Structure 1
């Protein structure tokens, strides 16, 4: 397994999201938020969905991702 900080900072990393952790499959400096499209530096990645294998820039984006996927009831 590669160190999570190895690789080129100018390209997108390929990541497998696990419960409470993630595994770098292809080194890079960032991943893209599935909701906002913003780049998330690997060292700042805190929110993701294991089921959908998606990263989120913050808690609000994570909540929106759940809503879009139908994981939360709409009000």
Structure 2
């Protein structure tokens, strides 16, 4: 029986122009706030840190070492 990816976090590999799904799911967690980010709205991540962010403000804060 196939398992659904519904409400399961995905494992991603973040690249400079996109991401690759390593294990299926429908969201990832923000590295700073732990907020669920649906994959279809994921826009902010760090290739170097391999982590996702819920907003550009959170990403900037993290890059400046404040998050």
TM-score range, shorter chain: 0.7 to 0.9
Following TM superposition, the consecutive aligned residue runs of length 4 or more in structure 1 with deviations greater than 3 angstroms are none
Structure 1 CA distance, aligned partners of 2:65 and 2:36?
20
TM-score w.r.t. the length of structure 1 is: 0.79
Q: Is the 8 A contact 1:14 1:24 kept in 2?
A: yes
Question: Equivalences for 1:16-27 in 2 at 5 Å?
Answer: 16-27=13-24
Structure 2 CA distance, aligned partners of 1:34 and 1:9?
21
Q: Deviations over 1:44-74 (max 9, x none)?
A: 00000000001000100100110228xxxxx
Structure 1 CA distance, aligned partners of 2:51 and 2:57?
14
Secondary structure (helix, strand or coil) at the match of 1:68 reads coil
Query: Deviation of residue 20 (structure 1)?
Result: 1.2
Structure 2 CA distance, aligned partners of 1:32 and 1:58?
12
Q: Is the 8 A contact 1:35 1:64 kept in 2?
A: no
Stretches of structure 2 lacking an aligned partner (at least 5 in a row)? none
TM-score w.r.t. the length of structure 2 is: 0.88
